[in-house]
Amino acid sequence: MYHNIILMHPTKTAGTAVKKALNAKVKGHLFPNSWGQLMDNKIVVVTVRNPYDRVLSMYNHFGFSWVNSFDEFLGLIAKSNNILLASQTKYLVKSMELLKFESLNEDFNKLCKKHNISATLERVNVTHYKRKTSLSLKEKEMIYKLYKKDFEILDYEK
């Protein structure tokens, strides 16, 4: 176990795969302010994902069991303070290693090389059942409004 690594991972951003590979210290999906001094002198790793893809993955993974439709799921996100649905920017800290889902293998390998870590990344917790696979323009606009900070701060295209 790499005791000097703390993993911050929003839902459906490949955090489970990174946790397994690094055997990192994770206490579920908690925001950085929940960790306090436990983060001192640690390598903080944060996984993120394109907000459009993340919302689709969240919905396919567990959303449709909470609501009847994708529109209802987006409405739930808008009204919810549930940590599982929160903006990825809430997980960011000043000094961190950012791993993007879209370049995960490359980012992970850079992290391992930089910190002299010997680890192998495997795909885990993959959502196999795809109830919804594409977004309408209206749905994209709703997701952009809900996760505007994610798009801007994490440099994802609208």
Distance CA 118, CA 115 (A): 9
100 three-class SS: strand
- Residue 44's pLDDT band (cuts 50, 70, 90): confident
Query: Of 15 and 147, which is predicted with more confidence?
Result: 147
Tokens of 92: 């960011």
> Span 101-129, mean pLDDT?
87
Domain ranges of the chain: 5-153
Any idea which fold 5-153 has?
Answer: Rossmann fold (3.40.50)
pLDDT of residue 33: 67
- pLDDT tens for residues 55-76? 999 998 876 667 878 999 999 8
For the chain, the average pLDDT equals 86
Structure confidence at residue 4 (pLDDT) = 81
Amino acid at 26: V
Neighbouring-strand partners of residue 100: 48
- Determine the pLDDT at residue 13: 94
Give the integer Cα–Cα distance in Å for 17 and 47. 10
pLDDT > 90: what percent of the chain?
48
Asked if 8 and 46 touch (Cβ cutoff 8 Å), the reply is yes
Question: For tokens 């992970």, what's the residue?
Answer: 108
How many residues in total does the chain contain? Answer: 158
**pLDDT exceeds 60 at position 28:** no
